[in-house]
């Protein structure tokens, strides 16, 4: 039995962040009922490409859910949904801030009416402050939070992180909050309001950079694959492609120096300690880069692994999803009834990963089952 078996979740989610939170709970065994407008979640149309008319962005975050359509512009439909929430343990929503209050579906109204309800809101900029009612999308908040400015080439422009890290991250934190609130409800009998946002997630991902700035007063530099605190801790080109070398302490650096043919570096004052290597970073990295170009990726991987130096090839997406490790972990799971595999929940219980039990739902697929009517 999955951990959340018997828990019901109503999702008023769209795009990514809210659906991510609800899908995590669904993978953990909750019965998640996704509420969509009659025209459907906008993410269904985020393409091409499409799978049977539905975008990969929608498919990626909506497995293990049932779906119904509700027209919130119709007062009778909105009233029906208010009553339906009485059956829920958790409500997850990421609609435009404030839009649900006028319908009696806001956090104050629903938690007053249903004291055991856990009401999870995911917004762009947070539940309080001057931007609480401002809507926003991933790239806006990557820029606003400072995350984008910390990403990219040292000499290039700020760069968006190539996945929706704030949507996924805020959804994850909302799910963590819901799980904590469920535990608290067992003890108190009462639910609560859980708030998460893309902006807060962005600041949280920067917590190491913030700590560094607070300690030193110096803004950390951007590094394509490296670190401003640990050297060498980055990618290097070889004859046949790039690899990451992560000598995270002085002992590992000594092993790396030996593998590179320069054991004397381990005791040389410029390089003997991490602080010294940070201070002399350009000259050290230039020498390492020149040496790395003398062998192939495979040769360096064998040589470094034999020496006990942490390293990894920089894989492409097609390479990563067919790795023996990926297959052994069972991270890609076949969608029931479809010739399609999606990424599963990155958590296992007693060695067993929760399965994708239900394909991402068609628009209004469960109207008849749940509402007693067909579209």
Set out the domains of the chain in order of their start, with CATH numbers: 8-205+328-371 (3.40.50.10540), 233-313 (3.30.1540.10)
Is residue 232 over pLDDT 80?
yes
pLDDT computed for residue 375 by the predictor: 47
Q: What is the C-alpha to C-alpha distance for residues 178 and 93, in angstroms, rounded to an integer? A: 12
| Selected catalytic residue, list 31, 41, 89, 167 | 167
Strands (E) in the chain, as ranges, are 8-12, 31-36, 65-69, 90-93, 118-123, 193-197, 233-238, 241-246, 311-313, 332-334, 341-343
Residue written as tokens 């929503």?
93
CB 348 within 8 A of CB 341: no
Reported as a single tens digit per residue, the pLDDT across 91-134 is 999 999 999 999 999 999 999 999 999 999 999 999 999 999 99
Model confidence, pTM: 0.92
Strands (E) in 263-374, as ranges, are 311-313, 332-334, 341-343
pLDDT computed for residue 373 by the predictor: 60
Is 167 marked active-site?
yes
Question: Quick one: pLDDT band at residue 155, thresholds 50, 70, 90?
Answer: confident
Reported as a single tens digit per residue, the pLDDT across 31-77 is 999 999 999 999 999 999 999 999 999 999 999 999 999 999 999 99
Q: What is the C-alpha to C-alpha distance for residues 337 and 299, in angstroms, rounded to an integer? A: 43
């Amino acid at each position: 039995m999955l951990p959340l078996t018997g828990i019901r979740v109503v999702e008023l989610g769209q795009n990514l962040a809210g659906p991510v939170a609800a899908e995590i709970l669904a993978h953990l065994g909750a019965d998640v009922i996704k509420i969509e407008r009659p025209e459907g979640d906008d993410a269904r149309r985020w393409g091409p490409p499409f799978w049977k008319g539905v975008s990969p962005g929608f498919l990626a975050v909506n497995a293990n859910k049932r779906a119904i359509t509700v027209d919130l512009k119709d007062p009778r439909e909105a009233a029906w949904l208010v009553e339906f929430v009485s059956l829920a343990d958790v409500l997850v929503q990421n609609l435009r801030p404030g839009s649900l209050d006028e319908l009696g579906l806001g956090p104050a109204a629903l938690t007053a009416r249903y004291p055991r309800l856990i009401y999870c809101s995911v917004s762009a900029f947070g539940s309080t402050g001057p931007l609480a009612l401002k809507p926003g999308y991933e790239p806006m908040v990557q820029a606003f939070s400072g995350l984008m400015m910390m990403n990219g080439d040292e000499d290039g422009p700020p760069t968006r992180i190539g996945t929706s890290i704030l949507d996924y991250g805020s959804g994850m934190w909302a799910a963590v909050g819901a799980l904590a609130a469920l535990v608290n409800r067992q003890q108190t009998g009462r639910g609560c309001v859980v708030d998460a946002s893309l902006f807060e997630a962005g600041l949280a991902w920067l917590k190491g950079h913030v700590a560094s700035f607070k300690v030193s007063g110096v803004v950390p530099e951007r590094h394509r694959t490296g670190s401003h605190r640990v050297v060498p801790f980055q990618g290097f080109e070889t004859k046949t492609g790039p690899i990451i070398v992560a000598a995270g302490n002085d002992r590992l650096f000594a092993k790396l120096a030996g593998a590179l043919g320069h054991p004397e570096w381990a005791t040389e004052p410029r390089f003997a300690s991490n602080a010294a290597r940070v201070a002399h970073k350009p000259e050290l990295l230039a020498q390492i880069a020149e040496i790395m170009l003398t062998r192939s990726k495979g040769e360096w991987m064998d040589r470094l692994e034999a020496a006990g130096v942490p390293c990894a090839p920089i894989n492409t997406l097609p390479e990563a999803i067919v790795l023996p490790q990926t297959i052994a972990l069972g991270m890609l799971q076949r969608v029931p009834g479809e010739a399609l595999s999606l990424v599963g929940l990155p958590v296992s219980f007693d060695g067993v990963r929760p399965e994708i039990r239900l394909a991402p739902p068609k628009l209004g697929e469960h109207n008849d089952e749940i509402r007693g009517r067909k579209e």
